[in-house]
Each structure stands twice: as C-alpha cells, then as structure tokens.
Amino acid sequence: MTLRVGAHDYRTDPLLPQKDGVNFAHENISALLKAADPSELAVEFHDLPRLLEDDDAARAALSGLDCVVSNIGPHAQYYFWLREKLGLDFRIVRDVRTAIWSGYLFQEHLLAPLLRPGDTLMVASNYVWAIYRQMFPHLAGFPAALCYPLSVCFPQPRPAPRAQGPLKPGAVTIGYLGRLSDDKNFPEIVDLLIRLNREVGNGPRYRLIACGEIHSPGCAPDKIAARVTAELGNGDWYEYLPVRPNEEIWDLLERFDMLLFPSTSNLETFGRVLIEAAYARVPVIAGHHAAATELVHESGLCTVDYERDHVFSAHFDHQLGRVNGAEMARAASSGHLQTSDQYEAYADHPQAFLDMLREAPPLADPVLHASQEAFLTALEVTLPPLPTRAEAIEWLPEHAAWFLDLQRKGTSAYAEKMARLLELSQYPERTERFIGKSATTNGDFTNVGGIDTELCHLRGFYPEFSIRS
C-alpha cells in the first residue's frame, strides 16, 4: 500500500553566512523524500507559510495524508495546530536538533497538549532523547526514533582506511570544522596547539587548520594568529579558512591527521562532523559531553570539568565547562588515537527513516554512558507549566500570525512586529542582533535561532538551567 506523506520542501536561505547542522538535516530529509520509491511512498511537498495563511491551501495539502514530516526546524507546533483546526488525522513526525535551548523547548512546550499516540519524536542521539525525556516527562508515553539520515549525502566511494601507528614525522595537522565560538570551546583548541608545540621535544610539530563562521569575537583569525605567534614565534602554526559548502569538506578532512571537537555547548545534541569524520576515517578528540561519548572512540575521549551551580539562560549558547587539556594533549601525541566505527551505526538510517514514516516505533528507553547519566543527574532545568489544550489552541493562531509577519520584509506588519519584539524582549540586545541579521538575509524561518527564539517573548518563555554540584 502506498503511504501518502506530506512535508515542507526545505531550502536553507542562501544568504545565511553558515548552515547549521539543523539546516543540513532538513535538506537531507528533503533529498531522501524526493528519492523515495513512488510506489511505496507518495510524497506531497508543500510550503508551510502558504498553509498558515490560507485554510483552503492547508486543507488541500494535508487532507488524506497518512503522515506529515515536520521538516521545518523548531516549528512543529504549527502542524499540530493545523491538524486540530482542520479536523484531520495524520501522524506527525517531528525532531529536536538542539538540547537545552529555548527554540526547541518552546516547540515541545506548545505542542505537548496536542500530541496523539502515533506522533513520533525523531532524535539524533541517546543523549538528546534522554534529556528531553527528563525535561518533558510526558514524552515517555510517546514513541521516539533514534534516527539521523545524514549519510544520504555522503560521497562515494568511502575513503580507504588510514595507516594506524605512531605519528608521522614533520607536521601533524589538527583540524576543526564548525562555528569558531566560545561555547564550542574553540579557544581550548588554541591552548592545545600551543601546549603541544611547547612540549614537542624531538617529536612532530603541530599546526591547526580551522574552517567555519566566526561566532565569538575572541575567535577572530587575526586575534588567534597574533596569540599563537606571541607564544610560539613566527611560523605556519595556524590557518583559518572561511565557511565552504558541505560538499567541499571532504577534501579538507583528508588533510587532517585528527579532528578536535571539545564543545561543551548546551546546544549539542549530536555533532554531525563526528560522523563525517568517522566516514572519512579521521580520528577525533572530544570531551565526554552530550553525544560525543556515543560517537567518538574511547581513545579520543577526555573528561570535562563543568561549571557547577551557575544559572544559565536557555535563550543563549553557553560553554558549560572545559575539557581536560592534559588528557587532550596525551591523546593527540600518543600515536594510539583510533577512528570511530559509529558511521556504520548510522549508515542504515536513511532506510530506517522511511520505515518509521509507515509505522511508529515501539516505546523504548535511551541507552546512556555513565558520564551522560552523571550529567543528567546533575542537570536542573526550570520550565513553566505546560499549557492546557485550550491554552495551546488559543495561543497558536497568534504565533502563526507573528511567524508569517516576521518573514514579510518590507511590509508595515513586519516593521510593527519587529518594533513590538523589542518592547517585549527580556533580552533586547539579542533581539537587536536578530533584527540586524534579518536585514542582511531573507529573514525566513531557516535562520534557526531567529524567529523561533524571538517568539518566546510572546509567552514570557525564558527557561533556565544549572549543573548542580
């Protein structure tokens, strides 16, 4: 029997300076749905904003569907509202792509009273599955699928295995891919570069290649280069490369002897680059934080010292701790760093995703490492009470109207909503940055951390969290 599936045809705003893992994930899902066997899966793409502004278009697009894939970032609540409003009966498959962060927390908050038994939460790791179960205990009664079909876009053939053993003489290249930011602990990679070259003795020299968007001022290339030169003297210790298309990272990974991923960000749910590195057979050094414990070989995992008893706002990204520098140095210089085999665990996820659309997975529990269990035991998140069904149905039309107006650049409604956001915002400086970024992009909802986060102001939704001693 052919399954009828609906989804937004996700296309990231080309004016965004860098795509996040969220953007890549939704683009991969669109590609996977387009390639599906039409005799098995009849996929009907639509445009979400069009559905929200026109009931007739929404009814035409959604009536008769068996399943809707919420392929739209942290905005799944609008499909739940449309289903109620139009009296329809499709399953909804949604995802969460960040951990302790307002956008996806707000999504789960708003849609909670509208969940139906077959509605499925798609997660990328056991860590994020467990953390959402802890923050929203009712999710234990609904299906979840550990599924991330990212390998649909990986190049073929897979790179050949690399020779294992002692480090090669000469220069060893440390690589970094992603946002250059404090919450991703990028300054610790620079610390490690300096430390390794001071302790090198007769061993190889280390150099760092970093590629990504500059997110924190202290990570600007000139500042990093100046610091490295001051500590190590003149030399080609550090090379910065601007953001490049995802299809071009494979040549870059080939240049790396190892990849550094010391992020302790509250946003982390997976670390897409960890699976990309595993596929490219590049060993990784990371901290025991978030999903890295699941995805990195134990030879590259290091302990994390968290900042305890500090209250963080989930409205921002934060560096939650530091990865042990001595352990990272030992892993980098030991010659025993091994590649992860976790690519194989995700290689069948494209087919698993298609299968999950046909049938909701059985209820199950996440499987955690001891370090993840310890983190979750210490984690305390303060969230407001869930809305009632009546409240959600009352609020969501207002949110949908704001969602649309904030994408209608050049209109009076857009200007009015932006001005009103500044009045409502508990974090006006962040809202001003959102307004500034919207002016240089198309201002659409693919800017994750934009419209989704700003709409939290309508309900005064400002979660906080801490890691207890």
| pLDDT in the model for residue 246 | 85
* Distance of alpha carbon 468 from alpha carbon 452, whole angstroms: 29
Which residue in 116, 62, 63, 113 sits closest to 91, CA to CA?
Answer: 116
- Angstrom CA distances, 238 to 46, 63, 171, 208, stand at 46, 56, 12, 5
Q: What is the per-residue burial (b if ≥16 Cβ within 10 Å, else e) of 443-453?
A: bbbbbbbbbbb
Choose among 66, 284, 34: nearest CA to 149. Answer: 34
**pLDDT reported for residue 18:** 83
Rounded to two decimals, the pTM is 0.95
Residue 318, domain extent: 171-342
Q: Is residue 241 assigned to a domain?
A: yes
288 within some domain = yes
In this structure, is residue 286 part of a structural domain? yes
Residues 339-398 have pLDDT tens digits of 999 999 999 999 999 999 999 999 999 999 999 999 999 999 999 999 999 999 999 999
Give the per-residue pLDDT at 149: 95
pLDDT of residue 245: 87
Q: What is the pLDDT of residue 163?
A: 78
Number of compact structural domains in the chain: 1
Phi, psi of 450 (to 5 degrees): -110, -105
Asked if residue 325 is part of any domain, the answer here is yes
Look at residue 170 in the predicted model and tell me its pLDDT.
78
* In the predicted structure, residue 167 carries a pLDDT above the cut 80: no
Q: Is residue 125 part of a domain?
A: no
Reported as a pLDDT band with limits 50, 70 and 90, residue 166 is low
pLDDT, averaged across the chain = 95
C-alpha–C-alpha distance, residues 422 and 431, integer Å: 6
CA 119 to CA 94: how far, in whole Å?
Answer: 8
DSSP strand E in 89-149: where? Answer: 91-95, 120-123, 144-146
Residues 6+ apart with CB under 8 A from 259: 174, 175, 176, 177, 253, 273, 277, 282, 283, 284, 285
Q: What is the pLDDT of residues 246-264, one digit of tens each?
A: 889 999 999 999 999 999 9
pLDDT of residue 231: 96
**Phi–psi pair at 352, nearest 5 degrees:** -60, -35
CATH code at position 311: 3.40.50.2000
Percent of the chain with pLDDT over 70: 99
Going by pLDDT thresholds of 50, 70 and 90, the confidence category of residue 165 is: low
Residue 71 has pLDDT above 70, yes or no: yes
Q: Does 416 fall in a domain?
A: no
> Do the domain assignments include residue 80?
no
pLDDT above 90 for 53 = yes
Please tell me the distance from the alpha carbon of residue 221 to that of residue 224, in angstroms, as a whole number: 5
pLDDT band, residue 203 (cuts 50/70/90): confident
Chain segment 282-303, per-residue pLDDT in tens: 999 999 999 999 999 999 999 9
For residues 48-65, average pLDDT? 98
Residue 180 lies in a domain: yes
Kindly report whether the peptide bond that precedes residue 17 is cis, defined as omega within 30 degrees of 0.
no
